[in-house]
Structure 1
C-alpha cells in the first residue's frame, strides 16, 4: 500500500484528486496549504513542488505534480476504482488523458480569469475587464460540454469518471462568483447529481473543515 499525502487548499483544483482518492477508498492524508500566507512559496513547499502550486501529492515521500499526471497515476495504480472507463484500445486511453487535459489546459485557465481576475490585473479593473472576457471565452466551451452531456448523466455516458469531478470543480468555481447556469441545464443537472456522490460529499467536507481552520486563523479569502 502506498503512503499518500495530498497538499490542498479550499476552492482550488486540488479538489479533483481529493475526489479521486475518496473514490478509490485508500487511506490518504491531506495537508492544508495556506495560500493567503503564501505558504506555497516557502522553501519547504518549493522543495516538494518548485512551481509553488497545489495540488501536489507525495507518493511514498516522492512528489508528483499536475492534475493530468496525478489523476493518470491514480487511475493506473488503482484500476478497480474505474476513475476512467476500462478500455484495451490504446487510442481510447490517450483520448481519456486528452479529456483530463482539456479541463486542465483549456477550461481551467478560463476559470481563473472568471474566478480570480486579480491575477491578471491589479485593482477593481480586473473585475470589470478580465472577468467579462473570461465569461465570453467560457461560453462556447460550456456549450460544448453541455452538448456532450446529452449522451448521458456523466461525461462518458452512464459511467462516472474523474473527468466529471474536474467538470464539477470548474462549474462550482465559476457559478460561485455569479456565472449564469441557466443557459447550460445539462451541466447544472450534472452538478446536482455529483454533489450527492459519497466520494464528492467526503471531499467537500474536507474542504469545509479546512475553510474553518483558515477562518480561525484569519486566512480565509472568500470568492468575490
Structure 2
C-alpha cells in the first residue's frame, strides 16, 4: 500500500526544492572554485555536472518536481518505473559516499552543508518517498535491465572525461592509479550492484503490491 496521494505530492515537492537548491548551490561553489584556479565558469559547470552525485540529484529534482505537479498522471517522469530507477540511483549515491568517499576532502561551512544534503539528506528522503508514496505492483523483472542504461553511460562518460582532462572524478575509477583494467573492473562491480539493486526493488515492489480480492 502507499500513502495519501496529496501528502505524496507535497513530499515530492519538498524533495524537489531541497535537491534543486543543493544542486544550484553546488554549481555556484564549483564555479567559484574553478575560477579561483584560473578556469572559466563554463569549466566549472562542466566539472560539477560530471559528478554522478550532481547528475543524480538533478534527476531527483526533476522527477520529484514532475510528480509533485502531475501526481499519478501517466508520463515518462511520473511512471513508477522511472521513480523506482531514480530511487536506485540516489540510493547508490548515498551508499558509495558512506562506504568509500566520506572524509576524503576536508569541508566546512556551506560546502559541507551542501555536500551533506546531496549525499545524505536527499538519498534518505527520496528512498522514503518511493517506499511510502509511489504505487506498487507495476514493475516487471525486465525493468532492471533498462535501468542499467544511465549508470552504464555514466561509467563510459567518466572514463572519457578522465582521458580527455586527466582528472578522474572518483578514486575507484582513477586510471592513473588503477590502470584501465582496475578501473573497468570496479565499474563492472558497480554495474552489477545496480542490477542487483534493481532486482531487489522489483521484489519489494511486488511484495508491497495491493492484494487481489479473494
Relative to the length of structure 1, the TM-score reads: 0.32
- Structure 1 or 2: more helix by fraction: 2
- Normalised TM-score (structure 2): 0.33
For the pair shown, the structure with the greater C-alpha radius of gyration is 2
Structure in which a larger fraction of residues adopt strand: 1
